[in-house]
Structure 1
Amino acid sequence: MNKKQLVLASAMSAVLAMAAQSTFAADMSNEKCYGIAKAGGNDCAGNGHSCKGQASKDFDGKEWKHVAAGTCMEMKGTLKPM
């Protein structure tokens, strides 16, 4: 393995490790909160689209954002799509 391949393999390993860690952390301390995202402010796929930031209107009950566990209701959101 040459130096260039080693650097590339190391970088890819680091990216994969960070992605796995952030997914695990999100599952442990966050929850999906529906109905609180503003237009363009959703966190992931939903409501007929497949990407973050594609919500077309404010506070759509089918769009969600990650929030700290236990805070969704305080934000006037729900844990299930409306």
Structure 2
Amino acid sequence: MKNRQALIAAALATVCATASTSASAAQDKPAEKEKCYGIAKAGQNDCATGTHGCSSQAKTDNMESEWKLVAKGTCEKAGGKTTAPAK
């Protein structure tokens, strides 16, 4: 009976180790992001522009020159553009 319990314990340990390895591998891969212009709310932009040098300094909502990082492929669905506005 002890051999059977040992086999079951080993099988469960293998399943748990495989599951945790797969989960951590999925978390290690960062999601692809892209700059999305024109969707940042006031104070919620991600980086500098020509008018200021830091994130979180957008003065108004949805300025064409302000951008946020979003998941790749979602920018235009949110009403933004993936290219910087012409100067």
Structure 1: which 4+ aligned runs deviate by more than 6 Å? none
Q: TM-score, normalised by structure 2?
A: 0.61
Gaps of 5+ in 2: 1-29
Between structure 1 and structure 2, the one with the greater Rg is 2
Does the Cα contact within 8 Å between 1:36 and 1:64 map onto a contact in 2?
A: yes
Q: Using the alignment, how far apart are the partners of 2:36 and 2:50 within structure 1? A: 14
Q: How many aligned residue pairs are there?
A: 56
Q: How does 1:2-81 map to 2 (within 5 A)?
A: 25=30, 29-81=32-84
Offset at residue 81 of structure 1 (A): 2.0
Q: Which amino acid aligns with 2:44?
A: G
Identity of aligned residues (%): 50
Give the root-mean-square deviation of aligned CA atoms: 1.2
Q: TM-score, normalised by structure 1?
A: 0.64
